[in-house]
Structure 1
Amino acid sequence: MAVLQPLIDLVALCAQQGIQHAVISPGSRSAALTLAFARSTHIKTYVIMDERAAGFIALGIAQQIKAPVAIVCTSGSAAYNFAPAVVEAYFQQVPLLVLTADRPKEWIHQQDGQTIYQNEIYGKHVKKAYELPADYTHPDAQWYINRTVNEAILASMAFPQGPVHINVPIREPFYPEASEAFVPTAGLRKVSRLTTEAVLSVDTWHELLNEWDESERILIAGGQHGADKDLNQVLSHIAEELHVPILGDVITNLQGNDWLISKQDLFLGQRTDEDLAPDLLITFGKSFISKNLKLFLRANPPLRHWHISEEQNLIDTFQTLTTQVPVSPGYFFAKLFEDIDYQRFVQNLDGETDDTYAEKWLWMNRTATRLLMEYLRLQTELNELTVYEKVLEALPDGSQLHVANSMPIRYVNMLGVGQRNTEVFTNRGTSGIDGCVSTAVGAALVNEVPTYLIVGDVAFLYDRNGLLLEEFPANLKIIVMNNSGGNIFRMIDGPARQPELEQYFETRHAMKAERTAADSGILYASVTETQELAGAIQKLVESKQCSLLEIFTDPETNTRIFKGLKEYIRSNW
């Protein structure tokens, strides 16, 4: 048996459990793990020197394949640098297997390098934390390691998916001799866990249907959710045939749904909204972008609020929750529509549903859309709002769009991606700006579709180490919106009024993405004038290699035009 045979077996077990990708950050203490992954013929490895970027690249891969991705680092502060990605994965429910090499704990506080408290280092931000024994020779230790690795991988995949952490203390020697063969133990034990599907009893359905029948005004609102054609279709049927308004942010991924209410941030708060208040609110998905929707529902609470989620935590974003329904949205809405449609058929109620409430929402959405388009046609200066419109119009059908936090996701949510078959991703688990470049890189490495990233200059600069790759996926196209600082702080009244705005909030700078692109071998182009924009976007779309387009805008112009949109809608309503 090799000196560190259980670690060879750990990697073999990862492969048996279906892990196909591992992102590795170089280090010495982690050598045995690294070599075991590198020599595996079943797991594709990626070497990323910066642990923070490595974690987000793994997150991007896991988002796409909906299965765990392993991340490996050495001991000490390297493990802490995984933390931002681990936290995002936890709240976004993305499965990661976090493997941190460690020194034996008796060396803590002995002035030995790269030795810190690593066990449970991520606190409550992992589904479960494990620590392997430092000595592997006893049969019980080997059994424990096998059981722990099986349990950890299964835990990452169980609903809700998320990161798990295995801390791996490793004694020297941890580099193999030339004579050692990296061969898994014969008969390695893989443990499986059967899956079940949550359903509701007949009595429970009757109770819910009674509440539905007692509600005159019903609103369905979706938060962040992966693209799901079946769910989108059944929600279209509910909207069209039952006259129930369906509302969603761009990250709800209901693109192509003709009945979708998506301009809520533009019209809520523009006038008295009480006539839009629902009696029954039904929500699904994760986080909501629209602040105006949150304010509206908190100010106009429904009589009943069902949240469709199998989570154990009570999700009460709008402070109105009355019932958490612990099933999947796909099952719930399909069953709901089937039962109500049958009930209407039996009672001969076809065509008798009142559409007044739904029509109010649809009228508001159509009006806001029309005023938005009118305002955009009036703009002649190069500014972010019209740039985003042109970029979104140019996205090819079937592409993926990754959007950074701060202003980019707000612009994209306001404008939408139209009827295209385009799935939108953004890290709204914690809504930080860190890792957005790396996440898109990870996605493009495995998704095999045109992948676009829209990112602000600060978020791009913050995550440049995500571009420390040997070879870039040719399907990745990056659009950097450079306004020389954190422009969102000009949009927010509080910081915008402060004399320290530019230095302490916007952090104004004169940096560009050009040198970063050159260092990484990425094709670069820039835009500074309106007349250059359309051609540059077209070249980006047509490029056959990884490309970056940097668009320079003036922050004061951006602020004036963004705030002018709200005023235009208000004055022309």
Structure 2
Amino acid sequence: MNPATAQAWVIVDELVRCGVTQVVLCPGSRNAPLSMALFEAAETGRLTLHVRIDERSAGYLALGLTRGSGRPAAVACTSGTAAANLHPAVLEAAHAGVGFLALTADRPPELLGIGANQTVDQRDLYGPAAATVAFPVAQRLDGQGRVWRALVCRAVAEAEHGRPVQVNVPFREPLVPTFEPPWPDSLDGRPDGRRWTVSAPPPLPRGGMDFTLPARTLMVLGSGRADRAVAAASVAQSARWPVLAEPTARAAALSGGAVVLRHGTLLVSGELPEALRPDAVVVVGRPTLSRGVSRLLAGTTVYAIDDVPGWADAQHAAAQVRCWLDLGDLGLIEGIETEWLPSWRQADVSAQTAVDKLLAEQEWPTGLQVAAELVAALPSGGQLFVGSSNPIRDVDLVAEPRSDIAVYANRGVSGIDGNVSTAAGLALSSTGPTYALVGDLTFLHDLNALVVGPPEQRPDLTVVVVNDNGGGIFSLLEQGAAEHRPSFERVFGTPHSVDLTTLCTALNVPHTLVTDRATLRSAVVPQPGLRVVEVRTDRAALRELHARLRTTATEASHT
């Protein structure tokens, strides 16, 4: 066994021992030792291997596998720009607190800085976004096995604590198995399949509240740990606080027994009536979707429940930060105001009546209608990945909160890249039906997610594409105002006129064009395989519709 083959075999064996059983592999020459070791492990049933040709999509697939399974997954690639293409997924993982492993094959040190082909300095390639575990070049020496296994355990421990890890492995030729003398000592791991080094699991945050909270408190739940959201929501339930939860936190909030407002984001988009003005806002996790929420936080006393250090506070408004809030802290709440929660519930019901009426008056389909109707149609036990830009905000604005579906989104850095691949990873790590709701630019940006080779396991994933032929989100921002109309369509609207039907045919992916509500409901009935459901919308009236939506909800809350 030559050194590169021996090192790759030990790395893969120790990864499996550490519980890393989902690996995405991109083809390449320098990572050939890893590729062959991973193939052998997959053939013997020790891990599940997913082969993809695009590293950027592969990185997000590993991210989705990690989030769906709750265990670190890995992605392996060759050197050079291949490793650089994992950077977007690493950034998303770093800011979302998701730990996966980037196994980047590298050239040996003697090839750095001399103009060798496909060679860059990829040590610490991802900067502060990832921990780095740097392997030495394998040599035929005693004691190498323990070094390699200990480094794998260190990398997995970092990932288990919610941090992406670059595992950089320089391989010296030969890169494929060759006839060599026996290895000088044993390369075997610990007996009974144990890890070489067993480290302590991540600590659970607990307690620490030492200040009072007013009765008129509003709780806002953003992205973050589900267990923290459930614990905090149980306090809101007992204290009779209303809860405004972003889509990814709604199931956790409902599991904690909280009253989750369906149209909370709309209610805070305008001036709140006196009966709804909170004395404090408890922010759990990291809210990112609503400017109305941001304005509310900027003008109210804020208490943050989040990681310490590293808590979310984009408005620089937090007066106190603690890592946990649960029922043990109920004694610190200044009583219950009997009309506080009923006032919010009544405003929410009034807003719902007004919003339902407004949407019923619109010609179908709009993105808002599709979001509400898709969430309502999903089967119990399913999971939904919601794309960045308008889809996640449409779900936030109008969809009914449900406790029986899991909702995911890439809110670490909120990019449109890799969304479909992340959803595919969720689907491949789950036994229930999985759906993705994305815009057309998000879909096109990650088209390689649909390139799945014949030998590969295909995800059971239905991708619903709301196609408004461009960047509809910009219609709702400052650049979508009338005074910017001359430049808008070309540099922000960016129409593409791509025929998704033809595109899906070329990719051997079933495609359904939906033109009415009944067809949408039938198109999302669970079935195996990867498929695309397209709904074509018009963004010309999008800005006006959202303005009317906010006005309608605000007026309803004042009645």
Q: What TM-score, normalized to structure 1? A: 0.87
Q: Give the equivalent residue in structure 2 for 1:364.
A: 347
Q: Give the equivalent residue in structure 1 for 2:278.
A: 278
User: Aligned partners of 1:285 and 1:226: how far apart in 2?
Assistant: 7
Aligned match for 1:502, one of 486, 489, 495: 489
Q: Give the equivalent residue in structure 2 for 1:349.
A: none
User: Aligned partners of 1:399 and 1:173: how far apart in 2?
Assistant: 47
- Whether 1:59 and 2:41 are equivalent positions in the alignment is no
Aligned match for 2:153, one of 150, 156, 162: 150
Percent identity at matched positions? Answer: 27
In structure 2, do the counterparts of structure 1 residues 518 and 184 end up closer, same or farther at CA, with 3 Å as the change threshold?
Answer: farther
Q: Give the equivalent residue in structure 2 for 1:488.
A: 473
Instruction: Spell out, residue by residue over 1:182-237, the C-alpha distance to the aligned partner (whole angstroms, 9 max, x if none).
Output: 99822456101123645667xx55x33xx23xx34223221114655x964x6665
User: Aligned partners of 1:48 and 1:180: how far apart in 2?
Assistant: 35
- Whether 1:176 and 2:177 are equivalent positions in the alignment is yes
SS in 2 for 1:322: strand
Q: Give the equivalent residue in structure 2 for 1:293.
A: 293
Q: Give the equivalent residue in structure 2 for 1:243.
A: 240
1:467, CA displacement in angstroms?
1.0
In structure 2, do the counterparts of structure 1 residues 320 and 252 end up closer, same or farther at CA, with 3 Å as the change threshold?
Answer: same
1:571, CA displacement in angstroms?
5.2
1:525-564 matches, within 5 Å, as 525-527=512-514, 529=515, 532-564=516-548
SS in 1 for 2:429: helix
Q: Give the equivalent residue in structure 2 for 1:190.
A: 196
Q: What is the Cα-based RMSD across aligned positions, in Å?
A: 2.7
User: Aligned partners of 1:446 and 1:44: how far apart in 2?
Assistant: 10
Q: Is the 8 A contact 1:119 1:130 kept in 2?
A: no
Aligned match for 1:133, one of 133, 136, 139: 136
- Whether 1:523 and 2:506 are equivalent positions in the alignment is no
In structure 2, do the counterparts of structure 1 residues 373 and 551 end up closer, same or farther at CA, with 3 Å as the change threshold?
Answer: same
Q: Which amino acid aligns with 1:21?
A: Q
Deviates more, 1:253-262 or 1:144-153: 253-262
SS in 1 for 2:188: coil
1:37-48 matches, within 5 Å, as 37-40=38-41, 41=44, 42-48=46-52
In structure 2, do the counterparts of structure 1 residues 537 and 179 end up closer, same or farther at CA, with 3 Å as the change threshold?
Answer: farther
In structure 2, do the counterparts of structure 1 residues 483 and 286 end up closer, same or farther at CA, with 3 Å as the change threshold?
Answer: same
Aligned match for 1:86, one of 84, 90, 104: 90
Task: Count matched residues.
Answer: 541
1:388, CA displacement in angstroms?
2.4
- Stretches of structure 2 that go unaligned for 5 or more consecutive residues are none
SS in 2 for 1:154: helix
Q: Which amino acid aligns with 1:195?
A: P
Q: Give the equivalent residue in structure 1 for 2:115.
A: 111
1:319-358 matches, within 5 Å, as 319-327=316-324, 332-337=325-330, 353-358=336-341
1:423, CA displacement in angstroms?
1.0
Q: Give the equivalent residue in structure 1 for 2:362.
A: 379
Instruction: Spell out, residue by residue over 1:524-545, the C-alpha distance to the aligned partner (whole angstroms, 9 max, x if none).
Output: 1113x4xx33224313325444
Q: Is the 8 A contact 2:78 2:106 kept in 1?
A: yes
Instruction: Spell out, residue by residue over 1:298-338, the C-alpha distance to the aligned partner (whole angstroms, 9 max, x if none).
Output: 0x221xx43223443243234222322234xxxx313224x
User: Aligned partners of 1:177 and 1:28: how far apart in 2?
Assistant: 16
User: Aligned partners of 1:381 and 1:29: how far apart in 2?
Assistant: 52
Q: Is the 8 A contact 1:264 1:292 kept in 2?
A: no
- Whether 1:400 and 2:383 are equivalent positions in the alignment is yes
Q: Give the equivalent residue in structure 2 for 1:165.
A: 166
Q: Is the 8 A contact 2:377 2:524 kept in 1?
A: no
In structure 2, do the counterparts of structure 1 residues 434 and 370 end up closer, same or farther at CA, with 3 Å as the change threshold?
Answer: same
Q: Give the equivalent residue in structure 1 for 2:263.
A: 263
Q: Which amino acid aligns with 2:368?
A: L
In structure 2, do the counterparts of structure 1 residues 482 and 421 end up closer, same or farther at CA, with 3 Å as the change threshold?
Answer: same
1:145, CA displacement in angstroms?
2.8
User: Aligned partners of 1:423 and 1:113: how far apart in 2?
Assistant: 45
1:149, CA displacement in angstroms?
1.6
1:495, CA displacement in angstroms?
4.1
Q: What TM-score, normalized to structure 2? A: 0.89
User: Aligned partners of 1:243 and 1:270: how far apart in 2?
Assistant: 23
Q: Give the equivalent residue in structure 2 for 1:475.
A: 460
Q: Give the equivalent residue in structure 1 for 2:553.
A: 569
Q: Is the 8 A contact 1:385 1:558 kept in 2?
A: no
Q: Which amino acid aligns with 1:219?
A: L
User: Aligned partners of 2:187 and 2:145: how far apart in 1?
Assistant: 11
Q: Which amino acid aligns with 1:92?
A: A
Q: Is the 8 A contact 1:287 1:428 kept in 2?
A: no
User: Aligned partners of 2:35 and 2:539: how far apart in 1?
Assistant: 45
User: Aligned partners of 1:220 and 1:566: how far apart in 2?
Assistant: 21
- Whether 1:465 and 2:439 are equivalent positions in the alignment is no
Deviates more, 1:90-99 or 1:383-392: 383-392
User: Aligned partners of 1:388 and 1:216: how far apart in 2?
Assistant: 34
